[in-house]
């Protein structure tokens, strides 16, 4: 085809249509653009040629292109921007984190129009104006020497700002020298595991259920993983004490995926355990900044700075693409962690570190987070209300904070089948079975609502109800009448694990 940019009306775009192919030209064009978006060839924000230019390139009438663009816009794949023409919508495609997931992800998205799997936040909320301002300020004021190789463990001004910020909002006890700036929470977790493993810590416990990324990191280094159940108070420290683990990864501020806050008694017990076994606690502080119904809770790190390493990032509050995170490290681990960071990549991007420091210092970061809480709370409320109305047999849990909730399914439901039924209805959700490790799972799905509009969340709830109906709503209703609904509690003499 001829380049559509020759007349100055848009970029080149390779789309192949067959005049005698299957379906109308309009349908072929729609499917071709959909496949390009789903396959990652047209990522979010990509600009498409004007309808006139694309029609000329394809040798079709302009009406064919106009109709295709209109239909794809209605489906949420495309959007119009003033002064920019037609672009791929922010939620139009999803690029998996690992190359091995590409084919499976593309196949799921052939039917999944609404992606509710937890992941990135609503990237449209990124404070572009504020970020541009602090970046300009940094470029005007930064010394030439500061653009060279900075400290591998982070520029001093950012470590100072983060130390003060975390003390103010999370109660963290640290000095700037205790912080190591990393390229996201996963790198922070990886560096800590590597450092501990090198120090002879070969047994590490995780919550069950927990984030699968934690298991991936531990498996990579050959660490023996010990699964410890959680109940309504968080990690069961008594069970932890019965393992040979000398380190544990926890999410005490908002357990993933169940959502409970670790109780004060468990926090104290956890730090006592660390003292007793000469061990370590890795506190994953991944989304506690978004707390809606209760006051902020402090970090476990504040109870035992010498035993607890706190890992955080701005991937949820700003954008994962910034690749900025931190580890607040116990003083007797910080030297080894610094060396691990230096050996890994010799430091994170300097300009972004200075810009984040300025954003915090001006108070704009706090204002941005407050705006986000209102933004996400509206979505959370919409989703919870819709689920209670449309899927009453299931129970939503863990939504007092964060960007996801856990939907407990009736005990008789086979989770894998429900996930597949939801995909058939055009909704992608994440099952929890793999999050339990060696422990028996309870059926449930994790629903992320951060990047989905309230309207689409309501539609998703209706489709999840349709998925439940497809699996036999009448049979499940009989189970509820017989007292077998998911909300039933085990006998009070038993521990109610999640």
| Fold matches, 4-93 and 128-366 | no
Angstrom CA distances, 209 to 4, 150, 369, stand at 51, 39, 28
Q: Give tens-digit pLDDT for 169-226.
A: 999 999 999 999 999 999 999 999 999 999 999 999 999 999 999 998 999 888 999 9
Model pLDDT, residue 3? 40
What band does 491 get if pLDDT is binned at 50, 70 and 90?
very low
Q: Mean pLDDT: which of 77-91, 104-118, 301-315 is highest?
A: 301-315
* pLDDT value at 317 more than 50: yes
128-366 topology per CATH: 3.40.640
Model pLDDT, residue 154? 97
* pLDDT value at 474 more than 70: no
High-pLDDT (> 90) share of the chain, %: 67
In the numeric block, which tokens belong to residue 70? 């209109």
* pLDDT value at 369 more than 60: yes
Would you call 424 exposed, middle or buried from its count of C-beta atoms within 10 A (0-12, 13-18, 19+)? Answer: middle
Given CATH 1.10.10.10, say whether it is the number of domain 4-93. yes
Min mean pLDDT across 129-133, 222-226, 236-240, 481-485 is at 481-485
What is d(CA 313, CA 347) in angstroms, rounded to the nearest whole number? 15
Paired with 88 in beta bridges are 78
What is d(CA 458, CA 461) in angstroms, rounded to the nearest whole number? 5
Q: Give tens-digit pLDDT for 45-75.
A: 888 898 888 888 888 888 888 878 877 876 7
What band does 12 get if pLDDT is binned at 50, 70 and 90?
confident
Domain ranges of the chain: 4-93, 128-366
């Amino acid at each position: 085809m001829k380049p559509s940019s020759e007349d100055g009306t848009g970029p080149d775009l390779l789309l192949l249509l067959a005049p005698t192919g299957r379906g109308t030209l309009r349908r072929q064009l729609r499917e071709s653009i959909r496949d390009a978006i789903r396959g990652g060839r047209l990522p979010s924000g990509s600009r498409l040629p004007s309808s006139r230019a694309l029609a000329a390139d394809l040798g079709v009438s302009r009406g064919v292109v106009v109709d295709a663009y209109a239909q794809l816009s209605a489906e949420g794949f495309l959007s119009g921007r003033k002064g920019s023409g037609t672009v791929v919508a922010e939620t139009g495609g999803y690029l998996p984190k690992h190359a091995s997931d590409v084919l499976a992800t593309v196949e799921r998205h052939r039917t999944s129009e609404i992606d509710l799997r937890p992941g990135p936040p609503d990237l449209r909320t990124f404070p572009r104006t504020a970020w541009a301002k602090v970046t300009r300020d940094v470029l005007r004021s930064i010394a030439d020497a500061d653009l060279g190789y900075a400290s591998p463990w982070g520029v001093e001004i950012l470590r100072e700002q983060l130390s003060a910020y975390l003390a103010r909002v999370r109660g963290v006890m640290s000095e700037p020298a205790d912080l190591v700036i990393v390229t996201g929470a996963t790198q922070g977790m990886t560096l800590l595991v590597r450092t501990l493993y090198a120090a002879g810590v070969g047994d590490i416990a995780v919550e069950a259920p927990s984030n699968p990324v934690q298991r991936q990191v531990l498996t990579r280094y050959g660490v023996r993983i010990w699964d410890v159940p959680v109940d309504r108070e968080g990690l069961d420290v008594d069970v932890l004490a019965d393992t040979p683990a000398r380190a544990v990864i926890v999410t005490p501020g908002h357990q993933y995926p169940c959502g409970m806050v670790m109780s004060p008694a468990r926090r104290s017990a956890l730090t006592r355990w660390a003292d007793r076994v000469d061990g370590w606690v890795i506190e994953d502080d991944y989304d506690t900044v978004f707390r809606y119904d209760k006051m902020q809770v402090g970090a476990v790190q504040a109870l035992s700075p010498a035993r607890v390493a706190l890992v955080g990032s701005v991937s949820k509050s700003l954008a994962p693409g910034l690749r900025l995170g931190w580890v607040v490290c116990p003083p007797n681990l910080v030297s080894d962690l610094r060396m691990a960071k230096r050996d890994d990549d010799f430091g994170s991007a300097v300009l972004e570190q200075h810009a984040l420091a300025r954003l915090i210092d001006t108070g704009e970061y706090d204002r941005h987070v407050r705006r986000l809480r209102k933004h996400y709370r509206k979505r959370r409320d919409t989703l919870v209300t819709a689920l209670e109305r449309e899927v009453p047999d299931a129970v939503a849990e863990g939504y007092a904070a964060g960007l996801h909730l856990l939907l407990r399914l009736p005990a008789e439901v086979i989770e894998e089948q429900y996930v597949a039924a939801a995909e058939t209805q055009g909704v992608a959700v994440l099952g929890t079975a793999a999050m339990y490790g060696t422990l028996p799972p309870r059926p449930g799905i994790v629903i992320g609502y951060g990047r989905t509009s309230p309207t689409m969340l309501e539609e998703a709830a209706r489709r999840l109800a349709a998925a439940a109906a497809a699996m036999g709503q009448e049979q499940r209703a009989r189970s509820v009448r017989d007292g077998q609904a998911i909300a039933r509690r085990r006998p009070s003499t038993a521990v109610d694990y999640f």
